Amino acid sequence: MLSIEVAKLKLENPLILASGVADMTPDLLRRAHKEGAGAVVTKSIGIEPRKGYNNPTIVELPYGLINAMGLPNPGWEAFYKEFKNEKFDFPVIVSIFGKDEREFAFLAEKLSEVADAFELNLSCPHAKGYGMEIGQNPEMVYKVVKAVKDTTDKPVIAKLTPNIDDITKIGLAAERAEADAVSAINTVKAVAIDIYARRPILSNKVGGYSGPGIKPIALRAVYDLAKVLDIDIIGVGGITTWQDAVEFLMAGAKALQIGTAVSLRGFKVFKEINEGIGRFLNEEGFNSIEEIVGIALEG
């Protein structure tokens, strides 16, 4: 009942561990799957190792988190060595980032052996020269997706930024470049200020806001994208309960990424949300998730 196919990947349920939630070791990814994730996304991997920003990098709010980690990662070579001999019985989606289409394509070529699919980080709001600075430009989104599609036969998912006037512009650019899916949304650009220090709390000053507070924004993005795209949509942003998950499915998402809820409440959220979706489908007389995907777009 909960199985779904998204971006050519077969998932036993629609929930996916979002990128960058914790130290993404092979054992931790297996644990996420054991506790209910149908697939996992790794931390974003770049060409060179990055330490990330100095602390503080996270501000916890009553309604979510603001983070500015700075894309810390071991670099593609260390990541490849760690994962090349690992076997997984669930899809592992490798998140990659670069400053232009050539870097994205290089990473896709080098990491295709260890990836079931790629998620292109076109939307990080706090790393200069990466992410959102590329992802706000439809032409650059097209170039990056096209370059990766020309390099690998693995499914390609474009992760879209909400920090733009019309998210459908970049969604359509990704579709034109033959992306297999889009994931929407990444974090919303945000700041928090220490009123006694009289300056921003984060070392980078500006960060990305995630959690329950962005759910209506993410839901609206999925709803708008579903009205214009033919490719699959993965909903991301503030999904905390099974009711949230059902809303995203009804808005047109075929799968859902969970991030901040895992950070704040642990892996148990996967089981809770899956069980809630299953109960809802049974009680409402549906036989599969497919039957509710996009149902709120009708009429």
- For position 20, what pLDDT does the model report? 83
Distances (CA, A) of 46 to 13, 37, 72, 127: 29, 25, 9, 12
Q: By C-alpha distance, which of 280, 279, 162 is closest to 218?
A: 162
> What radius of gyration, in Å, describes the C-alpha atoms of the chain?
18
- Under the banding of pLDDT at 50, 70 and 90, the label for residue 70 is confident
- For position 153, what pLDDT does the model report? 98
- Under the banding of pLDDT at 50, 70 and 90, the label for residue 298 is confident
Averaged pLDDT, 270-283: 98
Distance CA 202, CA 161 (A): 21
- Give the annotated binding-site residues for FMN: 19, 43-44, 121, 159, 185, 211, 237-238, 259-260
**pLDDT above 80 (res 205):** yes
**pLDDT above 90 (res 84):** yes
- Under the banding of pLDDT at 50, 70 and 90, the label for residue 237 is very high
Q: Quick check: 247 and 221 in contact, CB under 8 A?
A: no
Label residue 26 exposed, middle or buried (CB < 10 Å: 0-12, 13-18, 19+). Answer: middle
Q: Quick check: 36 and 267 in contact, CB under 8 A?
A: yes
- For position 88, what pLDDT does the model report? 97
Averaged pLDDT, 29-33: 96
- For position 52, what pLDDT does the model report? 86
- For position 135, what pLDDT does the model report? 80
Query: What average pLDDT does the chain have?
Result: 94
Out of 124, 132, 145, 148, the active site residue is: 124
Between β-strands 206-210 and 188-191, what pairing exists: parallel, antiparallel or unpaired?
A: antiparallel
- Give the annotated binding-site residues: 19, 43-44, 67-71, 121, 159, 185-187, 211, 237-238, 259-260
For residue 183 the two structure tokens come to 């994931």
Specify the length of the chain in residues: 299
For 280-296, write each residue's pLDDT tens digit. Answer: 999 999 999 999 999 99
Q: Quick check: 186 and 238 in contact, CB under 8 A?
A: no
Distance CA 67, CA 52 (A): 11
- For position 129, what pLDDT does the model report? 59
Averaged pLDDT, 82-111: 96
- For position 59, what pLDDT does the model report? 95
- Give the annotated binding-site residues for substrate: 43, 67-71, 121, 186-187
For 127-144, write each residue's pLDDT tens digit. Answer: 555 555 678 889 999 999
Distance CA 206, CA 191 (A): 5
Averaged pLDDT, 146-161: 97
For residue 23 the two structure tokens come to 């130290």
For 9-18, write each residue's pLDDT tens digit. Answer: 999 999 999 9
124 is catalytic: yes
- For position 22, what pLDDT does the model report? 66
Distance CA 94, CA 2 (A): 23
Averaged pLDDT, 109-129: 83
What architecture (CATH level 2) is domain 4-49+69-187+210-297?
Alpha-Beta Barrel (3.20)
The residue extents of the domains of the chain are 4-49+69-187+210-297
